Amino acid sequence: MKPKMSGMKWLVIAVVGYLVVLPLSIVVVLALARHPKNYEPASPVVVPQLVGLELKEAEARARNAQLRPNVMLHRWDIPAPLGTIVGQIPESGQKVPPGTMVGLELNVPDPSARLPESK
């Protein structure tokens, strides 16, 4: 003859089921429902040439190529017009996933150059 479970044991099982098993089941079902069954990775995009362009034009071209432009460095040691892009990573021609960030190097005035003294 099997011993009967006390009322307290049933209460503990019910509480654990309600607080742990039920929420976990809901999370699993929602995750499976949202997961795409026939997932295909996005086709890679080609990084455009951005060096030599003004910042606004370079950003527009990067966005048109489904990339995320971001000025990472300010350079003043390269002879180029101010406000132009003097470097980029990844380099042009590389194939990358859409949404990849493109690091830009922007030519800016030399911060250590002396400003003209005011009279």
- Per-residue pLDDT, 15: 79
Mean pLDDT value across the chain:
86
- 14 C-beta neighbours (distance < 10 Å), count: 10
pTM: 0.62
Residue 119 pLDDT > 60: no
Residue 14 pLDDT > 90: no
Which DSSP string do the residues of 61-110 spell out, in sequence order?
Answer: HHHHTT-EEEEEEEE-SS-S-TTBEEEEESPTT-EE-TT-EEEEEEE---
Paired strand residues for 87? 105
Residue 39 pLDDT > 70: no
